[in-house]
Amino acid sequence: MTSRDPIYVTRPYLPSLDAFIPYLKNIWQSKILTNSGPYHQQLEQRLCKHLGVEYISLFTNGTIALLTAIQALGLSGEVITTPYSFVATSHSLLWNGLQPVFVDIDPSTFNLDPSKIEGAITRDTTAILPVHCYGNPCDVEAISQIASRHNLRVVYDAAHAFGVNYRGTSLLSHGDLSILSFHATKVFNTFEGGAIVCHDKETKHRIDQLKNFGFVDEVTVSDVGINGKMSEINAAFGLLELSSIEEALAEREKIDAQYRSGLAGINGLTIYRRISDARPNFSYFPVLVDNSYPISRDDLYNKLKEQDIYARRYFYPLISEFPMYRTLSSAREENLPRATQVARQILCLPIYSGLSSSDVHRIISLIRDV
């Protein structure tokens, strides 16, 4: 890449094409294209080992994984969630006929603020759906205590949290279920893809049925399942990608360090602080642009865009501002002051393996020289 090519917020990590050809040949030879074929099974096993979890079920994308995770728990009524996420998080509740109840975020982690959860619980609440935003762990201990006190289920949207460890164990071991996204823009991608992580064999079995239309056997359908199966091509690509994921993460780590030192001390620019005790995955590089920076967040976004640098305002607008949510009483701005403020100030800078250090330097200089 030359320094004048456009720079996007992210680019997929692609291992060598030549290395992928043998996988394609095997698929052509076996004629098994989908429905839990050999690559699908291998990837589930390899991911369990890599992520340090016991059961994983692959999906066609993170959104269908989320829909199915919620369906698998048989929830009803209201589910407490964050407005500061990608819209798929709340959409998964509407698809299941559930009512999202938005709770404000912690301004330092941008994750659901546990101290605000209990105030939002009603007799109709059945679950909590938090997001490990940017791969930064939620306060899993506090959320678990609240859930046990009120007999609630917890589904973590861990779309950003591939490979994140917290206090020595996989972040995905928390909650009843966690979902992952393997979309092209994610740290680990299978073009499109996703997964549900669960903790026992029976649940995995049920999730596998739900993602296969609800079939129990050839002649029995137990639930209104969906087609959420990952194809053999996606699974094969995942296997190849997994073999070099550590190098890809190391590249991201370097970029993260370069931004942190290059952007330190700029008035009006706050670098996102990661939780200690966690092994991060460097999936995003968010900064907050406040009033003491010489120009607004949107002007900075446009200024970078003029230079063909496409930063993104993840997550602006808040989910609670979209038409299908804004009439909910929990969507009122007064209920979500911190999320509202963060959404107005957030800017995610480009980070991906293959982004050169001279490009990162150029981005830093543009931001510094405003």
Interface residues with ligand T4K (CB under 6 A) are 8-12, 61-63, 66, 85-86, 88-89, 131, 157, 159-160, 181, 183-185, 194, 310, 314
Q: 78 vs 157, which CB is nearer to ligand T4K?
A: 157
Q: 40 vs 266, which CB is nearer to ligand T4K?
A: 40
The whole-angstrom separation of Cα 73 and Cα 176 is: 9
The bridge status of strand 309-310 relative to strand 7-8 is parallel
Q: How far is the CB of 87 from ligand T4K (least distance, A)?
A: 8
Q: How far is the CB of 289 from ligand T4K (least distance, A)?
A: 19
Q: 32 vs 240, which CB is nearer to ligand T4K?
A: 240
Residue 315, preceding bond cis, omega within 30 degrees? yes
Tell which residue, 110, 90, 153, has the closest CA to residue 328: 90
Q: 195 vs 266, which CB is nearer to ligand T4K?
A: 195
Amino acid at 35: N
Q: State how far the alpha carbon of 267 is from the alpha carbons of 62, 148, 243, 271, in Å.
A: 37, 43, 41, 11
Q: How far is the CB of 119 from ligand T4K (least distance, A)?
A: 24
Query: Taking the CB of residue 333, how many other CB atoms lie within 10 A of it?
Result: 12
Q: How far is the CB of 302 from ligand T4K (least distance, A)?
A: 15
Q: How far is the CB of 59 from ligand T4K (least distance, A)?
A: 8
**Upper half-sphere CA count for residue 190 (Cβ side, 13 Å):** 30
Q: Which residue's beta carbon is nearest to the bound ligand T4K?
A: 62
Q: State how far the alpha carbon of 69 is from the alpha carbons of 56, 131, 176, 205, in Å.
A: 12, 14, 9, 12
Q: 12 vs 38, which CB is nearer to ligand T4K?
A: 12
Q: How far is the CB of 201 from ligand T4K (least distance, A)?
A: 25
Q: 84 vs 293, which CB is nearer to ligand T4K?
A: 84
